Amino acid sequence: MKALVAGLCLACAMTVLHAQPTAWQPSQGHVQLPLWPKAAPNAQSAPGPETVTVETRHLIAGKPLTSVTNVVRPTITVYAPTTTPVGAAVVVFPGGGFQILAMDLEGTEICDWLTSRGIACVLLKYRVPGAPYDWHCDCRPHNFELSLPSLQDAQRAMGLVRLHAREWRIDPHKVGVIGFSAGGYLVAEISTHYARRLYPAVDAADRESARPDFAMAIYPGHLATDGGRLNPNVPVSGKTPPTFLVQAEDDDVDGVDQALTYYAALKNAGVPAEMHLYAHGGHAFGLRRTRLPITGWPDLAERWLRTIGVLSKGGVGL
């Protein structure tokens, strides 16, 4: 009996974490494209190969989390609408503290939602770990810096989408972004750092605008200083795109002050902004359904997308 129990414990332990040193790949039928034709700017080596990990110890809404780290070759994966196209596209920034990317919870599952609403989805696998995070330690900075090279990857992705807009049946004036946690910070960065590329131009994609036409930041982080001021590296202005925010008050990872500070800055700059604040929900819930009211946020996001004209037919060749 003791041997049987020990065997079962060992089997359970082995199912807690499945790590495979291989590059993340989308499901069959979706093509992953390199973000940069050659080496990415400011390229540096990682402490190991790109690794995909399935975490089963801490389930989210009863499901495991698939994450990827050591990304040095960023990519985009384009997901075509699965219903009548509306001509819009959204670039998705998964979260993960700039240490990992939550590729299913805040990536592929988001694309499944968007494409079912007629919106093309472009999933960005950006470089992580990345500055200001050290490649060789599990640490968070106390100062506020731009998330290079992730922001370079975001700028490049926006240019590629607009360059291929006609080919992908996208209205180049309906290209937005959505991000979660650290990806939410990347949303704020690309919403305020789009006028000048942070790398030498590579090709025609870098002559396209990197400004999102609309933005959705879900439980974003890194937006407020300890003194409650806006992170100076996200200089909100009247040209910052219309923004949708979702936040839980009991988020103990990226506290509620992060989203509140950003919302206040948007309001003060005259940027159309909509924020939904819930008492409960914690952090990193994505689209996974629970019994909490916050689980209904995608319905509110869809209504918002209608009010700003995104969920209306009008794409190229439609």
pLDDT exceeds cutoff 80 at 97 = yes
Q: What is the mean pLDDT of residues 94-115?
A: 96
- Phi, psi of 204, deg, nearest 5: -60, -25
pLDDT for 17 equals 60
Strand order in the sheet with 273-278: 32-34, 75-79, 120-125, 89-93, 175-180, 215-218, 243-248, 273-278
Identify the DSSP state of 296: G
Q: Which residues make beta-bridge pairs with 276?
A: 246
pLDDT for 132 equals 58
The mean pLDDT of the chain is: 89
pLDDT exceeds cutoff 90 at 308 = yes
pLDDT exceeds cutoff 80 at 304 = yes
**Are residues 242 and 271 in contact, defined by beta-carbon separation less than 8 angstroms?**
yes
pTM over 0.85: yes
pLDDT for 215 equals 98
Q: What is the mean pLDDT of residues 219-240?
A: 94
Pairing of strands 273-278, 175-180: unpaired
* Distant-in-sequence, close-in-space partners of 75: CB < 8 Å, separation ≥ 6: 32, 33, 34, 35, 124, 125
pLDDT for 29 equals 86
pLDDT exceeds cutoff 50 at 66 = yes
pLDDT for 16 equals 46
pLDDT tens digits for range 249-299: 999 998 899 999 999 999 999 999 999 999 999 999 999 999 999 999 999
Domains of the chain: 31-307 (3.40.50.1820)
